[in-house]
Structure formats: C-alpha cells, structure tokens
Amino acid sequence: MLEFESLEDTNEIDPNTLDLNTYLDRFPWEEKWTQLGEPIDSIWSFDLDASPEELWPWLIDTSSFNKRIGIPEMKFKEINGRLFGTSRNAGIPMEWEEVPWEWEYCKQLNNARMYSKGFAYYVRTRYLLFPLEENRTRLFVYFGWIPKGWIGKTILKIGMKQMEKSYEKALKAVVADLEKTKNLSWLGPSALGFIKETKLNKEPVFPARMQQIRVGYIREGQPRELVDKVLNYVLDADESDLYRIRVKAISKAWNISEKDLLLIFLHGCRLGLFTMSWDVVCPHCRGVRTEAQHLGDLPTRDTCEVCEIQFESNQLNSIEITFHVHPSIREVQKRMFCAAEPATKNHIRFQKSLSPGESYQSKLLLRNGVYRLRVNGDKNYSLLEIKDEIQNSPLLWKPNGLPEQVETNTEPNIFLENETAAPRTFIIEERREDQDCLRPSDLFNFQDFRDLFSQEALSTDLQLDIGIQTILFTDIVGSTKFYYHKGDSGAFSEVRFHFVEVYKVVREFQGAVVKTIGDAVMAAFPSPVAAVEASVKLQEFFSDTNPETPIRIRISLHTGPCLAVNLNSNIDYFGNTVNFAAKLQAIADGEEIVFSEIIFKDKELRKLMTEKGWKVRRVKFNQSWINEETSAYKLVFNGQEQKSE
C-alpha cells in the first residue's frame, strides 16, 4: 500500500481546534505565489442549524450566494477549454483565469483565480463542512489573497472584514430559506422561485403583450389557472431561473402534470411567449455545447474542450430540449456572480486535480448506489457500487489502474495517485441520468408536439438514438373488398373517420402517431402497457358490437431500441424494432392484437393482464428474413373466446 505523507483529508482536521495557523499548516501556500507578495489570509467559522446534506446545494451555488452578499456581476468566456472571467470590483477592472474547481460532496470545495488585471495576483478559497450534533453543521470559510501593491493590500484588508459580516448575514438567510423550501423536491436557491405566491386576482393584470398571449391560451382551451401561473413565473422569476427553463423540473416543483405543463410551453412557442432550444449536452460534464433553434440544425458531432473529448450528438442522452422567454416579453440575460462549477455539475460528487507524482486520500461521503469513476479526457470509466453488505476496503485509484467494476462499503477510503507525466483530474459522478432532462423522445412521442411543430425535422445525416420505444401498427382488414363495396367517396369518409379515432386513442394513452401508410397507422408509446391499453380500446371500437363503423383492424406491437430519422422531411422511426412490429401484422386477423415475446414478458403488462383477467394465445412467428422461428402472443381480452391455432 502507498504511503501518503501529505494528506488533505478533512477527516484528519479537528473542527474544535481549527484556526488560521492550523489551516495554513494543512494547506500551505505554494512558493511561486508568496514570491509575489505577502498573503492576506482569513478564516471564519459559522455554526448553522442545518445538516451538511441540506446546506450543500446552497453552498455550491456560489453564484447565487455571491449575488446575495452583493458581489459584482461577472462575465465568463471559455477559450480552448479554459475559463476566463472579468468584473469590476470597487471601481477597479478585474480579469482572471479560473483554476478548475475541486470538491467533495458534503465535505469541502475550493477554487482559485489567477489575475492578469486588478488589485491581486491570486486568490484561493475553500469551504470545509463538519457535521455537528442535532443535525447542525460547522462551516469554515477561508480566503487567501496575494495582493498587488499597497492599494491591493488596503482594499483587501478592509474588504475581508466586511466580507465576514456579509457571510454571517447571508448564511443566516440561507438557513431561513432552506427551511421555507424543505417540502419541495427542488433543492438549492432556485427553489425560492417556486414558493412565490401566484397572484390570486380573478382577472390578473399583465402587460398588454402578455394579456394578448393569455387570451390566445384561453381560446385554445388551456386551463386558466395554469396559464396564469406560468405567466406570473415569467414575470417574477429570477433571471438565472429563466435563462434555461426545464419543464420537467418545474412540473415536479409545482406538483402538476408534466404533459399539461409541456403543452403550455409548446403553445407558448406558437404564441410568442417562449422559444425552444435543442441543446447538445456533453456526456461527461453535462454542459451545453451547442444551442440549436431547430431540430434540423443539430450537428452530428460536438466537442467539449473542458472535458477534452469529442462525442457523437446522436447518442441517447446527448440532446436536451429547453425553453427561453421570448426577448419581446422579457430580456433575460445569463447573469453570473461566480463560475459556480460544482453547481453546474451537480451530478459530479468528487473532483480532484493532481500534479504528476502527487497523491491524495479522502473518506467519501457517498450514499449507496452506482457511480462512475473516470479521469478527465478519458472516455473509459469504471463503475463503483457502494452498498452496506460489502466489506469496507480502501480503494486505490491510478489513471488506467481500475477494473471495470469495483464494490465497496459506505463512506469508503479512497487513495489517488497520479503516476503520469501530466496533471490529471479524478472524477466520481452519479451514474443515473438527469431525471429533469426533456429528451427528443419525450417530444417525438407527444402528439401535440407533432401537431404544433410538424415542420421540425432532423438533418438528413443525423440518426438520433431515442432509446426503447413501443411501436404499434394498425391495418384495415379486407380493405380492397371494403373499397369496392363502399366506392371511393364512401370508403374515404369511413377511413378518415377511422384515422380520427386512432389519433384520439393514441393521444389518450400518451402515444403519438409517427406516420400513416395508406390506410395503416404507425404509432409509438412510452411503454408496453400504454400501447396494449390503447390497442384494446381501439379493438373495442372497431368491433362487431359497434354499429358506427364497418371497419375492422389488426394490431401488432413490439418494443425495443429505435432511431429517429428524417424521412420525407418528417420525424420517422427506424430500426429492427419497427421492422419486427410491422412484420407481426402477417399473423394477425381482424379484431386481433398480436405482440412479441419481449412485450409479453413486461412485468407491468403481466400485472395489468392479471388485474383485467386478460389471457394470451401463444403462436408461431416465422422470421423469414433470418430463417428463424420465434413465439408471438395474441391477446384474449374482454370475454373473447380462445381460438386454437
């Protein structure tokens, strides 16, 4: 085992005896900075009535916190993967380069800036969190400056005294705000935007343009209360919350239907309240790399210089759809008061940079679950599973030195060593995907999106992975004979009536019609259960017991991975899943529903079948294109008699 002589682990620090001298012994200055001037160091201690877990989302959002304490606005620009900032402080222009942040979940975070202009050469900061009894936390805040000249010394000595008072006041306010938002699913400062009371006027007064939009919403049949809630949010919310609006997150915070809220935002784009953005997201840091106004503008590949990777933008979770307030309604700027890297990468629980030959040890405060361990710039990663029943053993991590899967107990000790000749950044991140992302598949399977944005199409060279979809095909049985007896006019009227009913039922069960092919329909659903329930309702309508229509249909279903492609300037689905679902039509007769074995094995569907008393008949299906035979299943529902095959 390696010997780690210079440990920075906060578990080795006693919060009861920590003072400035102890801190500087633990985190000494590098000589290259002290050669430029004598440091001005400050460390403050605050005991807060909240746990580290509760405080963490508020503390890592240093932009919101800096705004709270009156720090001037900052501008940032990324150049070749490096982040540069500018601001004006005490009337003096400041320019700097951000040193990549480091943080450990619920334990500490630190960053530094190298100034090229202003009253300092360099600043470093660090937060240290220690749990206390009764769900409380002791927070240490450290600032260390290398001032530039006597002006810098004077400004910083005065400024740090004032800063301590500002921190004390702001942290009390944070604890109070945390208490206000405890019952929300949303964590951190953005939660404040959701606890403002919606104006309860019977006829709210909005600016003239918004009043016109409100009338438009109501004419379209949108619920008045939800419309007013959204309009008030657009007027009252902080700019930081409106710059990039995420519908799923808001629906959770407001405890309302995601589909209802999405419909408001989609209609809002047509009414001039919002604009929609198709964002290419880095798979590592989850930062936005490209913002496209239209689906067809999405690139096939993108680059994240910060993470030092290139990636395909057609991958399952590479695209997120967000909304922006239309500039004619409210000018929303991306206002920042700090880079706040830990808050923008909240899925990353640990980030530590090591110079060549440097090592580090820490005890991680990670919950049970599966995490990814990777080194910045490497596409490969290892999986770390943390669970109680595993014996706790130290984890030694070197670049390219971990197996594909690692298991350990809760709060594991981790040992890092950079054996390479270049600086390396070690990262531990949550494996689960961002649950608040609105993905292309969410829109493609939403009938209202297809109706409102029928002009949206993928670029012809982009095939977008939309994950697992359940595909449904319908077809009219005996259509040739039907057309002959009904005549063109009569047949057209009946088929059109049939399409109206199919569209209505598909929409009712959260599906979307992908396309029609002659008198057949192809639709997509988010789950096998939704697709089967829709199928049963369709067959109940197009049955011998319904005198309204002479049409009878067959239905086939399959579920699996799909690609979204551009076909005839429309969003179409492509792949083996689609092909298999279509081929199943060959073994279905009128009023029948046939589906694949993978659908039959779906746990939620089996549960539904038990509740409804539905059964299945197993049938053979010959996959002629690969010369193999497999099983398929015909649903027996609502008292149908089992036929022998």
For 34-66, the three-class secondary structure string (H helix, E strand, C coil) is HCCCCCEEEEEEEEECCCHHHHHHHHHCHHHHH
Co-location of 203 and 107 in the same domain: no
Q: Is the pLDDT of residue 4 over 50?
A: no
Co-location of 371 and 417 in the same domain: yes
pLDDT digits 0-9 by tens, 536-562: 999 999 998 888 888 999 999 999 999
pLDDT digits 0-9 by tens, 512-542: 999 999 889 999 999 999 999 999 999 999 9
> What's the CA gap between 89 and 187, in Å, rounded?
30
Q: Mean pLDDT across the stretch 319-344?
A: 90
CATH number at residue 91: 3.30.530.20
Co-location of 548 and 401 in the same domain: no
DSSP symbols for 286-340? --EEEEESSGGG--SEEEETTTTEEEETTSTTSEEEEEEE-TTT------BSS--
> What's the CA gap between 448 and 259, in Å, rounded?
10
What pLDDT is recorded for position 94?
96
pTM of structure? 0.82
Q: How far is CA 32 from CA 112, 114, 121, in A?
A: 14, 12, 11
Co-location of 43 and 110 in the same domain: yes
CATH number at residue 624: 3.30.70.1230
What pLDDT is recorded for position 493?
83
Q: Is the pLDDT of residue 36 over 90?
A: yes
Residues 6 or more apart whose Cβ sits within 8 Å of residue 439: 316, 317, 319, 320, 321, 466, 467
In a domain, 446, yes or no: no
Angle at 412 between CA 409 and CA 415, to 5 degrees: 140
Q: Is the pLDDT of residue 644 over 50?
A: no
Domain count, the chain: 4
Co-location of 229 and 207 in the same domain: yes
Co-location of 571 and 499 in the same domain: yes
Model confidence at 203, pLDDT cuts 50, 70, 90, reads low
Co-location of 210 and 74 in the same domain: no
In b/e form, how buried is each residue of 495-521, taking b as 16+ CB within 10 angstroms? beebeebbbebbbebbbbbbeeeebbb
Co-location of 290 and 398 in the same domain: no
Model confidence at 2, pLDDT cuts 50, 70, 90, reads very low
Model confidence at 199, pLDDT cuts 50, 70, 90, reads very low
The one-letter amino acid at 302: D
In a domain, 364, yes or no: yes
Beta strands in 73-172 (DSSP E): 75-79, 82-89, 92-104, 108-117, 120-132, 136-147
In a domain, 1, yes or no: no
What pLDDT is recorded for position 99?
95
Co-location of 258 and 378 in the same domain: no
pLDDT digits 0-9 by tens, 336-359: 888 889 998 989 999 999 999 999
Co-location of 405 and 261 in the same domain: no
Co-location of 49 and 136 in the same domain: yes
- What residues make up the domain containing 143? 10-188
Mean pLDDT, all residues of the chain: 90
First and final CA of the chain: distance in angstroms?
68
Q: Mean pLDDT across the stretch 230-234?
A: 94
Q: Which two tokens stand for residue 632?
A: 């398929």
CB 371 within 8 A of CB 430: yes
DSSP code, position 11: G
In a domain, 390, yes or no: yes
Q: Is 491 helix (H, G, I), strand (E, B) or coil?
A: helix
CATH number at residue 229: 1.10.10
Domain endpoint, select from 407, 430, 453: 430
In a domain, 448, yes or no: no
Label each residue of 153-210 as H, E or C: HHHHHHHHHHHHHHHHHHHHHHHHHHHHCCCCCCCCHHHHHHCCCCCCCCCCCCCHHH
Co-location of 288 and 395 in the same domain: no
